[in-house]
């Protein structure tokens, strides 16, 4: 027998559904389960109410029900507008539209460049726009044309100049404004290019407020100017003294990329990756020079520290494949995978083949059946392959789907396996000292794994029971590790990049976020007080500590980074001393046990306003003392000023502004040369007097900055 619903309004709605014979038997249990809090059930109510509205004679009942709903609960005006719109369910010929190329790109930019963002994340749209333009220049270099690329970024304006062959004059407009137009459909011209779909520069054009392309070819030049994809001006061919090549200038449209900015560290990584994968290429960004002589060897030297690696980096290079391998003292597996110069942040078939082949080669070399997790534990490796006409899982090209290195040719698994079986095996035979160091690292991983086996099993059993009724986790619909299928694949991939989990302190803070969040892409994990300082502890503590164990299960990272369930891990704590302490403790946890998540730019700090300044006409949210003073000056008079002491003091309606499209995030970035263990030892170790002196010597308050501004 079904138990009656606790909420009388839900019971009333259910009775209405039964009266009008709506088919609800299949979803009854689901409906009851997720409607415990009516304010979190808007999407489900949406569905059922739409069904009711289509039934004859139901308008009066629906009007009465909505009024009762409005009186008892707070819903946004948009919710009630949708519910009361009589034309909402109409579907006629007028509902069907045909869009031209630029309209479609601007309407669905996520299909072409992934998420939009504001530049605070390395996979935000502005970096993809820059990449799409540079990729064409890289393809020219790969084909032997042009040795350097100059890039200029001045505020919002970007300019890219290569010295390749230049775009053929007669097709200058077409290649940047006609979808599916380009030279890369002919594999003889661009044998192993990354841009094959004829979309890249068209997306940049459509999503830019200003776009100009110039071609210099055999003593002639021509240019074309666009605005949001619309051609404004096309010049005739004229004589030129410029070197052959192409210059593209564009300004991303701020109506799409709101408040965007470039982070220098992300640009550095992007440009260095280009140079590592194209040894000898010289790139210039605002006068800064990037060049690599040793390819992936240079990459791993920049990503690791000589003092923290267990043996010198192994560097192997073939015609269409290059790898660099070492082991560190940290936990986890860290990979940098590339295809035709494209950084595949989500891996793909080439990385899967490498991980499998590496295990097999090591087992064969040592003639011992080591566990795969022991062989790959603490590995740091980079792999680059060249593939003819690669197949990616989306336009953003972050995951390779090609099963073969060329059409009708060798499989990816066989290609990578044969390369490692020969080159890595030969290297280890020629370098017995490195082979011995590698063996010691593997055996250390084996001892640690066996030492944790008992507590790990017990902890996982507890976690499995807790997950059935995990009150700490309020999950979302989409996840980063889902396998998208079907006709909505591109839309799902876009949602996956937006997946976020907020780690909050206590129930009061999580309450506001939970009510304000987007249930499709935003999850919430609530901590109980301050977590343990994990510096100097072994990974065994992750299983012994219930809080840490539940967190790693929520993130799905127990077996490795590739199972990560959320693209963005956001630490959301109060802006007070306790909140900052919890923030440091969580950062220590990730850096100590899961550094690959931090290194791959998945961990962020949520910035929330400290002040609300308002009068009867306007409300301004301020993130520091400087912004507060500016807001007071703008409003004039004596505005009302509220100081937010904690996240729980911010109402759900207000919080929705701070975790929506304008969310401010501060990425945790490990700079090249940083020694993680040294950093943790200094900031989280037992050297309290030394830290006190550091704080005293470097302490500054927001008032200092205000005074400096007033003096200026």
Structure tokens at 546: 């219930």
Which tops the pLDDT comparison, 251 or 400? Answer: 251
The three-state DSSP-derived secondary structure of 97-159 is: CCCCHHHHHHHCCHHHHCCCCCCCCCCCHHHHHHHHHHHHHHHHHHCCCCCEEEEEEECCEEE
> Taking a C-beta distance cutoff of 8 angstroms, is the pair 382, 316 a contact?
no
Q: What is the pLDDT of residue 493?
A: 77
Distance CA 168, CA 186 (A): 15
Q: What is the pLDDT of residue 358?
A: 93
Phi and psi at residue 121, to the nearest 5°: -120, 145
Q: What is the pLDDT of residue 41?
A: 46
Structure tokens at 478: 């989409």
Q: Tell me the average pLDDT across 515-531.
A: 86
From 473, 469, 349, 337, select the one nearest 417 (Cα to Cα): 349
pLDDT of 129-139, one tens digit each?
999 899 888 88
Sequence-ordered list of residues with C-beta below 8 angstroms from that of 190, at least 6 positions apart, any chain: 139, 143, 183, 184
DSSP assignment of 213-224: EEEEETTEEEEE
Structure tokens at 313: 């980096």
CATH class as words, domain 470-608+646-674: alpha beta
**Percent of the chain clearing pLDDT 90 (strictly above):** 21
Sequence-ordered list of residues with C-beta below 8 angstroms from that of 525, at least 6 positions apart, any chain: 472, 473, 474, 501, 502, 503, 504, 510, 551, 554
Architecture of domain 297-451: 2-Layer Sandwich (3.30)
Confidence bin at 687 (pLDDT 50/70/90): confident
Task: Average the pLDDT over each of 266-280, 428-442, 525-539 and give the range with the smallest value.
Answer: 525-539
Q: What is the pLDDT of residue 62?
A: 57
Structure tokens at 483: 């396998």
Which tops the pLDDT comparison, 636 or 566? Answer: 566
Structure tokens at 263: 């982070």
Task: Average the pLDDT over each of 50-64, 273-287, 592-606, 692-706 and give the range with the smallest value.
Answer: 50-64
Q: Is pLDDT at 31 greater than 50 in this prediction?
A: no
Structure tokens at 534: 């994990």
Is the domain covering 107-291 a CATH 3.30.565.10 domain? Answer: yes
Phi and psi at residue 701, to the nearest 5°: -110, 165
Distance CA 118, CA 539 (A): 36
Q: What is the pLDDT of residue 192?
A: 55
DSSP assignment of 426-453: HHHHH-HHHHHHHHHHHHHHHHHHHHHH
From 441, 130, 104, 420, select the one nearest 269 (Cα to Cα): 130
Please report which helix (H) or strand (E) contains residue 604, including its range: strand 603-607
> Taking a C-beta distance cutoff of 8 angstroms, is the pair 444, 310 a contact?
no
Which tops the pLDDT comparison, 458 or 409? Answer: 409
* In 146-285, alpha helices (H): 172-177, 200-206, 264-277
- Residue 87: CB atoms within 10 A of its CB come to 6
pLDDT of 366-407, one tens digit each?
999 999 888 998 899 999 998 887 887 766 677 888 888 887
Q: Is pLDDT at 667 greater than 80 in this prediction?
A: yes
pLDDT of 331-370, one tens digit each?
778 889 998 878 888 888 899 999 999 999 999 999 999 9
Q: Tell me the average pLDDT across 188-207.
A: 65
Q: What is the pLDDT of residue 21?
A: 39
Strands 282-285 and 148-154: parallel
Distance CA 254, CA 119 (A): 12
Distance CA 393, CA 418 (A): 25
Give the HSE-up count for residue 561: Cα atoms under 13 Å, Cβ half-sphere: 30
Mean pLDDT of the chain: 79
The three-state DSSP-derived secondary structure of 508-567 is: HHHHHHHHHCCCCCEEEEEECCCCCCCCCCCCHHHHHCHHHHHHHHHHCCCCCHHHCCCC
Q: Tell me the average pLDDT across 455-479.
A: 69
**Percent of the chain clearing pLDDT 70 (strictly above):** 78
How far apart are the two ends of the chain, measured CA to CA in Å? 74
Structure tokens at 248: 């593209």
Q: Is pLDDT at 53 greater than 80 in this prediction?
A: no
Please report which helix (H) or strand (E) contains residue 290, including its range: strand 288-291
Q: Is pLDDT at 241 greater than 80 in this prediction?
A: yes
Q: What is the pLDDT of residue 433?
A: 93
Distance CA 461, CA 467 (A): 10
Is 229 buried (19+), middle (13-18) or exposed (0-12) by CB count in 10 A? Answer: buried
Distance CA 87, CA 505 (A): 44
Task: Average the pLDDT over each of 45-54, 215-224, 302-311 and give the range with the smallest value.
Answer: 45-54
Q: What is the pLDDT of residue 392?
A: 76
Q: Is pLDDT at 663 greater than 50 in this prediction?
A: yes
Q: Is pLDDT at 426 greater than 90 in this prediction?
A: yes
Which tops the pLDDT comparison, 707 or 482? Answer: 482
**Domain-by-domain residue ranges, the chain?**
8-84, 107-291, 297-451, 470-608+646-674, 609-643
Distance CA 338, CA 400 (A): 9
> Taking a C-beta distance cutoff of 8 angstroms, is the pair 501, 566 a contact?
yes
Confidence bin at 438 (pLDDT 50/70/90): very high
Distance CA 351, CA 357 (A): 10
Distance CA 384, CA 343 (A): 9
């Amino acid at each position: 027998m079904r138990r009656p619903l606790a909420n009388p309004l839900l019971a009333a709605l259910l009775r209405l559904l039964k009266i009008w014979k709506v088919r609800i038997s299949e979803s009854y249990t689901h409906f009851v389960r997720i409607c415990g809090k009516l304010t979190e059930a808007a999407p489900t109510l949406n569905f059922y109410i739409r069904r009711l509205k289509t039934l004859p004679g139901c308008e009066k009942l629906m009007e009465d029900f909505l009024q009762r709903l409005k009186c008892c609960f707070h819903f946004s005006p948009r919710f009630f507008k949708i519910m009361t719109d009589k034309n909402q369910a109409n579907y006629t010929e007028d509902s069907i539209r045909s869009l031209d190329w630029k309209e479609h790109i601007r309407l669905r930019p996520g299909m072409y460049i992934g998420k939009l963002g504001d530049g605070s994340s390395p996979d935000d749209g502005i970096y993809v726009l820059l990449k799409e333009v540079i990729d064409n220049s890289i393809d020219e270099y790969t084909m032997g044309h042009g040795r350097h690329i100059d890039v200029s970024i001045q505020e919002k304006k970007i300019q890219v100049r290569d010295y390749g062959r230049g775009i053929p004059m007669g097709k200058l407009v077409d290649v940047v404004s006609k979808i599916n137009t380009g030279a890369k459909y002919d594999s003889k011209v661009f044998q192993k290019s990354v841009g094959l779909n004829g979309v890249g520069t068209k997306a940049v054009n459509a999503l830019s407020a200003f776009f100009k392309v110039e071609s210099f070819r055999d003593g002639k030049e021509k240019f074309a100017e666009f605005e949001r994809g619309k051609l404004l001006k096309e010049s005739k061919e004229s004589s030129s003294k410029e070197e052959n090549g192409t210059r593209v200038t564009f300004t991303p449209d701020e109506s799409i990329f709101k408040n965007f900015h470039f982070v220098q560290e992300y640009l550095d990584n992007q440009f260095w990756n280009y140079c590592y994968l194209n040894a000898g290429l010289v790139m210039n960004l605002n006068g800064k020079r990037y060049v690599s002589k040793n390819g992936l060897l240079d990459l791993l030297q920049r990503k690791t520290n000589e003092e923290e690696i267990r043996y010198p980096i192994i560097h192997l290079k073939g015609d269409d494949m290059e790898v660099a391998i070492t082991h560190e003292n940290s936990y986890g597996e860290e990979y940098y995978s590339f295809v035709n110069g494209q950084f595949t942040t989500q891996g793909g078939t080439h990385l899967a083949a490498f991980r499998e082949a590496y295990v097999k080669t090591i087992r064969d070399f040592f003639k011992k059946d080591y566990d795969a997790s022991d062989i790959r534990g603490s590995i740091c490796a980079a792999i680059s392959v060249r593939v003819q006409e690669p197949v990616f899982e989306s336009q953003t090209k972050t995951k390779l789907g090609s099963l073969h290195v060329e059409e009708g040719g060798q499989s990816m698994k066989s290609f990578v396996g044969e390369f490692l079986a020969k080159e890595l095996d030969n290297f280890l035979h020629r370098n017995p000292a490195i082979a011995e160091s590698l063996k010691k690292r593997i055996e250390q991983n084996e001892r640690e794994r066996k030492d944790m086996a008992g507590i790990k099993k017990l902890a996982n059993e507890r976690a499995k029971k807790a997950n059935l009724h995990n009150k700490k986790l309020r999950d979302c619909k989409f996840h980063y590790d889902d396998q998208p299928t079907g006709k909505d694949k591109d839309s799902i991939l876009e949602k996956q990049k937006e997946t976020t989990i907020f780690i909050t302190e206590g129930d009061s803070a999580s309450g506001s976020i939970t009510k304000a969040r987007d249930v499709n892409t935003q999850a919430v994990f609530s901590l109980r007080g301050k977590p343990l300082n994990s510096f100097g502890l072994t990974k065994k503590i992750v299983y012994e500590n219930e809080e840490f164990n539940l967190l790693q299960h929520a993130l799905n990272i127990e077996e490795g980074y590739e199972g990560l369930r959320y693209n963005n891990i956001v630490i959301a704590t109060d802006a007070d001393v306790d909140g900052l302490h919890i923030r440091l403790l969580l950062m220590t946890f990730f850096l100590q046990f899961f550094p690959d998540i931090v290194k791959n730019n998945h961990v962020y700090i949520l910035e929330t306003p400290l002040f609300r300044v308002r009068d009867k006409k306007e409300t301004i949210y301020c993130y520091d003392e400087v912004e507060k003073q500016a807001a007071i000056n703008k409003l004039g008079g004596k505005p009302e000023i509220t100081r937010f002491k904690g996240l729980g003091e911010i109402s759900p309606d207000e919080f929705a502004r701070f975790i929506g499209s304008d969310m401010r995030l501060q990425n945790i970035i490990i700079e090249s040369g940083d020694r993680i263990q040294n950093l943790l030892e200094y900031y989280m170790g037992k050297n309290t007097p030394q830290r006190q002196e550091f704080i005293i010597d470097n302490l500054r308050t927001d008032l200092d900055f205000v005074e400096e501004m007033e003096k200026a």
